Structure formats: structure tokens, C-alpha cells
Amino acid sequence: MNDRQGAWHLRLTSARVGLDGSFLRFLLVGATNLLISYSVFRGLLLIPVDVAAKAAICQLVSFGAGIAWSFVWNRRFTFRSRGRAITQARRFISLQIVLALTSAGLIGLLVDHLELNPSVSWFLVMGVWAVVNYVLCRGWAFR
């Protein structure tokens, strides 16, 4: 196999497993979003307030901070969308609300009820949600 055939094979293989350019850009935006969201989450946990479902509330706020960041960068950079911004914003926000509520519920269950480590719980839930988010953003929100 020569270099040209190898490059073509790599492109075909990458496309089959979902590692095209948009997925890699999504991961980059996601990495920056992770830093923002996780910093907000951990910062809010440090506030000396004793409330029921504290971890779930912190997650909702941190998820909200990430929504604005993600919409702008995923629309422009990741998916390079030219569709109607208002329609895409509605879809994206709807999707993010569902993901925020379900992630808050899962993290709340893991941390507040099962008493698991907040960081481990956050990374576990958010890792799975990242894949779900990409698939739905690509196929629906930024279509």
C-alpha cells in the first residue's frame, strides 16, 4: 500500500468509526467546556452551605455555564453550521436541558444518596453524556 492509498484507507476507516473532523473539533470544544463546567461545579461545592441535593444543584449551574460556551463554538467551529441560528439554538438548548436534568439526577443519586466521590461521579456521567450529546447535536440540533 503506497502513501496515497494509506491516507485514503485512514479517511475511510476514520469515517466508519465516527472520527471525522467534526468529532475531533467536538472533543476540543468539549475539553474547554469540561474545564469551565468542572471548575464551576467544584467551586460551587466549596460554598459552605448545607442544602439537600447540593451536588445536583451545583451540576445544574455548571451545566448552564457550559451551554452558552458550547452553542457558540459547536455551531461555528465544530459543525460549521449555516442553518437558522434561532432554530438551532432552540434545539440545542432543549437537548442541553434534557441532558442537564438527567445528569443532575444521576450525579445527585451517585453523590447525595450513594455517597460516591463527587469527582468520579461527575467524570463518569459527563463522559457518557458527551457521546450522547455529539450524536444528537450532529444529527438533530445543528442539522
Q: Model confidence over 114-134: pLDDT tens digits?
A: 999 999 999 999 889 888 999
Beta-carbon contacts of residue 54 (< 8 Å; ≥ 6 apart): 45, 112
Residue 131 has what pLDDT?
A: 87
The answer to whether the pTM exceeds 0.75 is no
Rounded CA separation 133/96 (Å) = 8
Q: Model confidence over 101-112: pLDDT tens digits?
A: 999 999 999 999
Q: Average model confidence (pLDDT) for the chain?
A: 87
Residue 67 has what pLDDT?
A: 87
Give the pLDDT mean for 24-30: 92
Structural domain spans, the chain: 20-141
